[in-house]
Amino acid sequence: MKPKFIQTPHDRYFRQVFTQIAEVRDLIKNALPEVSKHIDLNSLELDNTVYVNNELDNTASDIVYNCNYKDKKIKIALLFEHKSQIDTLPILQLLTYILNIWKTNYKQEKKLIPVIPILFYHGERDYEFKTFGQYFEVYDDFLDIYTPSFEFELINTKDFTDEQINEMFELLSLKLAVTVMKHIFESQEDLLEILKENKKLFRKLQQLPKGNDILITLKKYIFNAKKINKNEFIMKYQNFFEGVAVVEDSIADRYINQGIEQGINQGINQGILKVAKKSILTGLENETIRIITGLTFVQINKIRKELEQE
């Protein structure tokens, strides 16, 4: 079964941020202190297996990390919910996600391993946490034993003030990423005000070795998420990115935006294929191509072989 290609500015930015081990380590250590007490954050490894299938809708992002738990291995699953309206059953998504991981364990003739599901939410509406039983019309103690029961960790950006976010995280890049994601659905005027309040972070980031790359990624996220043209972006946002190249709507973004507007999944897939080929021909590494396109390493290597045969 082919995995769904998840292509929205929010998902793309989330993948770019949280496929970085340092960012994930900072996130778990400071946003989920109870979890960090029991796992070895220094052992975090990105799992490149794709666990999302067609049963999960287009809000799911298959970012999974392996890490040590005592002398065993467990998995940390990050499931990204980015909708502005909560109209899904996230606990059902998480269960499907966990089952996919266990099915893969079984097919690979491995022992089942525990999963800690983590849901990151930054939508407009308040998120109401519900247990599995609360989704059923009829539910009591008798039915409880027949119903799957598990908890998940929720990171809701609305639960933190901007000051708390700034104090909570250690990495400048994560402070800015979480702050922007928290406010991305607000009006352009409100978002600009938030950026002004965090202008010092922009300047400090530029002084870091990879700070410019981080700001380029953030710039493209704002540009595509707010759906504005380049001239408007330059006029309103460019002063926050002094010294960073003017944002250009990339080939990938054009295909993505066209696909979102038209709702043509096949068009998105063809666009991603073209972007992958262009990325390979320009010499980009598989990890970079995976983050850009959402393809698996197996898919990327298959495209590489096809290009070699042309």
Q: Where are the domains of the chain?
A: 1-185, 188-249, 260-310
Taking the model in full, what pTM does it have?
0.74
| DSSP class per residue in 33-75 | HHHHTTSEEEEEEEE------TTS-TT---EEEEEEETTEEEE
Separation in Å, CA 214 to CA 36, 88, 136, 148? 25, 31, 44, 41
Higher pLDDT, 89 or 235: 235
Determine the straight-line distance between the first and last CA of the chain, rounded to whole angstroms. 27
Residue 29 scores a pLDDT above 80: yes
Q: Assign 148 a pLDDT band (cuts: 50, 70, 90).
A: confident
pLDDT of 71:
81
The 10s digit of each residue's pLDDT in 187-242 is: 999 999 999 999 999 989 988 888 888 998 999 999 989 888 888 888 888 888 87
pLDDT of 232:
86
pLDDT of 15:
85
Q: Assign 84 a pLDDT band (cuts: 50, 70, 90).
A: very low
The 10s digit of each residue's pLDDT in 246-299 is: 555 444 444 444 443 443 344 446 777 878 887 888 777 777 787 777 777 777
